[in-house]
């Protein structure tokens, strides 16, 4: 049996509970000594005590970073609509949802806010960045939410903080390589608006796998995207972002077939130029009412002249340190490397707040969620060390604006469950409704397989390592 296959079986039998101990869910062996230690090339790990696993430096994915010396105009781009200050007097009511007085420009109808004042532009938290035009037409309160909040309708896509599911498809109960507890439809229902994942080439087909398809294979990209498309069709007032990890450095054209067959090509957003600066992005209402609501980024290997709608991530979005094992969660730029402060302030940014443990098995290194701290990691408490609330507030102050994306593991864990959405709401200056999460408890999804199986695999890995 290949080493990676054996390791995959071991991962299927291992998860670390919140208190750092293992939990038994199937057959048991009460005489088994769980203190057995597996020795890797340089570090020893005690499977029964999460605190003995070394927080090593995570390996950052590498690839070529695109540098644009000038802005490129892309064909068939969805150009940003310039909203006219002259409002139409029409309003459309559908059930208990009311579309407000609308403004039409370039054949795109735009949702307009309520009250006697119509706010145009970014509608950001800082009033100095907004401008208003007063209409004499009586208006009604906007009850049609965009991405869950009516306040977002007139904000630019680049001026909203979204919760992002790290490795969204990796939902396998009892597998320590999983990063989420709830399926993608539950994620979207709960309010996740960015879906991040790793894509791998498996026998000529793109699969979603964690590090290796031998460890965790969540199925095909097409099948996953098809589920998202069906949800988006049923929820037409939502914009969803995808960040694809191009793990095998495939050409972007290799992803086109999966995207188009999933149905998402029908509603995909294609930028008018590359790169898109912070103020170039359209408002959510423009994207929604033009039905261009699926936004795709790729970390490495994008070619926007070949496939305009698969955007290069790092020329339009920067990230804090990748898959951190440090609870301090620095707000500094890691990717793309060498980005100067001026350029960083002119593009969106994502904070990586998925705390990890790095496990080393001989030549194989694997990052898994550090569930021992998960509740605190996802907490909205801004004074709590290592919490999402603390990092969001710290980064907002450092960069003078909130992050655009909050990348987290097991988003449904927290204080209370789903507290990551409370953090996003505060960054957006709106009020979270407190509704979360999914239909299944996190504990049920994070329960592990039998202890006896775990120890058996541990013994097998120990044997193989000793043979190297």
Any idea which residue has 């006219």 for tokens? 84
Distances (CA, A) of 347 to 237, 281, 343: 25, 10, 7
Active site residues: 166, 210
Half-sphere exposure of 422 (CA within 13 A, CB side): 21
133, two tokens: 């035009």
Exposed/middle/buried for residue 294 (C-beta within 10 Å: 0-12, 13-18, 19+):
buried
DSSP string, 276-300: PPGGGSPBHHHHHHTT--EEEEESS
Cα separation, 165 vs 174, whole angstroms: 19
Distances (CA, A) of 262 to 154, 200, 229, 256: 29, 17, 7, 10
Beta-carbon contacts of 203 under 8 Å, excluding residues fewer than 6 positions away, are: none
Beta-carbon contacts of 344 under 8 Å, excluding residues fewer than 6 positions away, are: 318, 333, 399
Are 302 and 66 in contact by the 8 Å Cβ rule? The answer is: yes
SS3 395: helix
User: In terms of DSSP bridges, do strands 37-39 and 44-46 run parallel, antiparallel, or are they unpaired?
Assistant: antiparallel
């Amino acid at each position: 049996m290949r080493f990676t296959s054996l390791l995959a079986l071991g991962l299927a039998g291992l998860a670390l509970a919140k208190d750092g101990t293992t939990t038994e869910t199937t057959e048991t062996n009460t005489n088994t000594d769980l203190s057995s230690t597996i020795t890797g090339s340089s570090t020893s790990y005690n499977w029964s005590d999460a605190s003995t696993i070394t927080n090593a430096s995570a390996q950052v994915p590498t690839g070529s970073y695109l540098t644009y010396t000038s802005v490129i105009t892309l064909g068939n781009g969805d150009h940003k609509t310039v909203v006219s200050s002259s409002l139409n007097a029409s309003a459309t009511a559908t059930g208990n949802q009311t579309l407000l007085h609308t403004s039409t420009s370039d054949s795109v109808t735009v949702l307009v806010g309520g009250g006697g004042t119509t706010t145009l532009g970014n509608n950001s938290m800082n009033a100095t960045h907004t401008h208003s035009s007063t209409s004499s037409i009586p208006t009604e309160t906007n009850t049609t939410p965009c991405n869950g909040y009516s306040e977002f309708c007139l904000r630019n896509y680049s001026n909203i903080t979204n919760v992002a599911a790290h490795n969204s498809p990796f939902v396998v109960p009892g597998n320590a390589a999983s990063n989420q507890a709830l399926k993608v439809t539950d994620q979207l229902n709960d309010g996740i608006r960015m879906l991040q994942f790793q894509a791998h080439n498996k026998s000529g087909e793109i699969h979603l796998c964690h590090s290796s398809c031998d460890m965790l294979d969540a199925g095909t990209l097409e099948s996953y995207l098809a589920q998202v498309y069906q949800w988006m069709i049923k929820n037409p007032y939502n914009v969803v972002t995808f960040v694809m990890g191009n793990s095998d450095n495939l050409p972007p054209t290799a992803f086109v077939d999966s995207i188009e067959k999933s149905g998402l090509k029908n509603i995909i957003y294609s930028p008018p130029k590359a790169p898109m600066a912070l103020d170039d992005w359209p408002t959510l209402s423009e994207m929604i009412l033009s039905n261009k609501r699926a936004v795709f980024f790729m970390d490495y290997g994008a070619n926007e002249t070949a496939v305009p709608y698969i955007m290069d991530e790092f020329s339009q979005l920067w990230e804090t340190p990748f898959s951190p094992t440090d609870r301090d969660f620095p707000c500094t730029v890691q990717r793309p490397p060498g980005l100067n402060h001026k350029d960083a302030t002119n593009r969106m940014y994502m904070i990586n707040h998925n705390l990890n443990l790095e496990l080393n098995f001989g030549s194989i290194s694997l990052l898994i969620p550090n569930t021992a701290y998960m509740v605190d990691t996802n907490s909205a408490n801004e004074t709590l060390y290592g919490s999402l609330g603390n990092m969001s507030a710290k980064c907002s102050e450092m960069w003078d604006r909130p992050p655009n994306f909050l990348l987290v593991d097991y988003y449904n864990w927290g204080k209370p469950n789903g507290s990551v959405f409370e953090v996003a709401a505060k960054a957006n200056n709106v009020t979270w409704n407190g509704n979360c999460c999914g239909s299944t408890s996190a504990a049920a999804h994070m329960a592990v397989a039998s202890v006896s199986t775990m120890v058996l695999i541990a013994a097998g890995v120990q044997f193989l390592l000793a043979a190297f």
